[in-house]
């Protein structure tokens, strides 16, 4: 029995720069703090905006792997508030990670050059979008010059 994936939605995030950094940590690496400035999302059965005020708090390990933990709110066009919790990893060669760290307008790094994946959960009140809180989701992401773009897939 193999799982199947079904596209659910794409979220585009705008992230604040500069990032806050706490380094070095007693456990090694550093902890970043990145404020979410907003964004938008859309899928086959919902769309809306990313609310300002959430954040991402990745632990950057000594081996260069970003272990991210992001929490923020989506507001669907019908007014429904959806909380999203993303945990996952971003890694690539040292050269690629350096490029991703300092993207400028017009820069692009092919998504095949790095790994950005998430395990994602949603919290939503009962109603039209509560299906989000009853399935397992995985995210496949890319770094953009202004933030992240992540496509979420429901595991069937």
Q: What is the pLDDT of residues 41-99, one digit of tens each?
A: 999 999 999 999 999 999 999 999 999 999 999 999 999 999 999 999 999 999 999 99
Q: What is the pLDDT of residues 31-51, one digit of tens each?
A: 999 999 999 999 999 999 999
Total domain count for the chain?
Answer: 1
- Output the pTM of the full model: 0.93
Give the CATH number of the domain where residue 21 resides: 2.40.160.20
Residue numbers of the domain that contains 151: 5-155
Beta-carbon contacts of 105 under 8 Å, excluding residues fewer than 6 positions away, are 145
Q: Half-sphere exposure of residue 92, counting CA atoms within 13 Å on the CB side?
A: 19
Tokens in use for 37? Answer: 């400035």
Instruction: Decide if pLDDT at 4 tops 80.
Output: yes
117, 92 contact by CB (below 8 A):
no
> In this structure, what are the phi and psi dihedrals at residue 96, rounded to the nearest 5 degrees?
-65, -45
């Amino acid at each position: 029995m193999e799982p199947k994936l079904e596209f659910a939605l794409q979220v585009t995030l705008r992230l604040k720069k500069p990032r806050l950094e706490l380094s070095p940590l007693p456990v090694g690496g550093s902890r970043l703090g990145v404020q979410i400035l907003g964004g938008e999302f859309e899928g086959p059965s919902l769309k809306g905006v990313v609310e300002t005020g959430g954040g991402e708090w990745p632990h950057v390990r000594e081996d260069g792997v970003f272990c991210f933990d992001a929490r923020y709110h989506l507001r669907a066009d019908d007014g429904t508030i959806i909380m999203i919790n993303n945990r996952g990893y971003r890694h690539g060669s040292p050269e690629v990670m350096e490029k991703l760290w300092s993207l400028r307008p017009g820069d692009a790094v092919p998504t095949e050059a790095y790994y950005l994946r998430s395990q994602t959960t949603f919290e939503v009140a009962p109603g039209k979008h509560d299906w989000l809180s009853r399935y397992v989701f995985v995210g496949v992401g890319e770094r953009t010059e202004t933030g992240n773009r992540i496509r979420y897939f429901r595991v069937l």
